[in-house]
Amino acid sequence: MPRHGVRPTAAPKRDAALDYLRKRQDPQNGGNNAGGGNGNNAGGGNNNQNGNTGTNQQGGGNNNGTVGTGQNGNGTTNGNATVSGGAGGNSTNTSSTISIPLTAAAGSIVMLEPSQRVDTVSYYKIAPSETITFRWNMTNLYVQPSNITVVASCSDNGNTYPVGPTNGAQNVFDGNTTEVHWVPYDWEQVPGQPRFAAASYTLKIWDERGPGVGIKGGYLSPYSGTRFGMYIPQKYTPLAEWTCATCSSAQRLLGEPAGLSILTSLIVVLVSAYAVLRRA
């Protein structure tokens, strides 16, 4: 019983701010609070959050832009977009879509150099510093090739020759290449490289899918539409030393001064005899 004239002492009031902080303390597994927001519950993971709202559950990552409660893992929120992993893991969503109409034509090569006139065939000399230039455009492409391969095929000897420089990538180029310079003589100096024939050649170009791929809308089709000739120059031979290998004996005789004189005399005799016969 209280003493007479003495008021009982009231129980001390609980500090509301202290209670709030205690409630914020993680009771399980020693969770940590970072980023001026909330802590971690049931999982012991770290939740780094800088912002105001949001909840990351059973995912993986950090939350930069919204604040919430992280449970059993980490979630990732960047700005206003959210990418969440599956339970206990991460996921990456990367996609690239190219839309090709069903009516799209197949990609093709239009040769600009050499000339593609039907009545014109370009001939090139196989000699030092003699450069052949091939130049083209690519049309109707929805899918750009990763790389292209350029070769010259000779039907006379059955060989296929790389078209391009003898160093570096040689005859494999970036997919957007539209011009190639080629010195056939330099390739003849490469050990093991077959020699060129004086013959007709066909230029062929294909992408990384290979020379036998089928035609497909929006993709580059294999090309083999350019024909050209190459020849091997011969050293100069004076006329007096020149011999016609395909001429007959009579042709060779007429090529000599004595043979020409005999032919001239024979013609004069025949003409004179004809004139005499007409007077008779």
The DSSP annotation for 217-265 comes to BTSBPPEEEEEEEEE-PPPP--GGG---TT--HHHHHHHSHHHHHHHHH
pLDDT of residue 24: 56
Q: What is the pTM of this model?
A: 0.54
pLDDT of residue 155: 92
Cβ(198)–Cβ(228) below 8 Å:
no
pLDDT of residue 21: 54
Helix (H, G, I), strand (E, B) or coil at 19: helix
pLDDT of residue 252: 56
pLDDT of residue 29: 43
Expressed in angstroms, the distance from the first to the final Cα of the chain is 188
pLDDT of residue 216: 95
**181's tokens:** 């310079």
Q: Distance between CA atoms of 134 and 225, rounded to whole angstroms? A: 12
pLDDT of residue 13: 52
HSE value, Cβ hemisphere, 13 Å, CA-based, for 49: 24
pLDDT of residue 32: 45
Strands 179-182 and 132-139: antiparallel
pLDDT of residue 20: 58
CA proximity to 109, closest of 150, 152, 155:
150
Strands 56-57 and 199-207: unpaired
Q: How confident is the model over 136-188, as pLDDT tens digits?
A: 999 999 999 999 999 999 999 999 999 999 988 789 999 999 999 999 999 99
Contacts of 58 (CB under 8 A, 6+ apart): 71, 72, 73, 87, 88
Show me where the domains of the chain are located.
16-83, 108-231
**Spans of the chain, pLDDT less than 50:** 1-6, 27-94
Beta strands in 40-171 (DSSP E): 40-41, 49-50, 56-57, 63-64, 70-71, 76-78, 81-83, 108-113, 122-125, 132-139, 147-154, 160-162
CATH class, range 108-231:
mainly beta
pLDDT of residue 279: 77
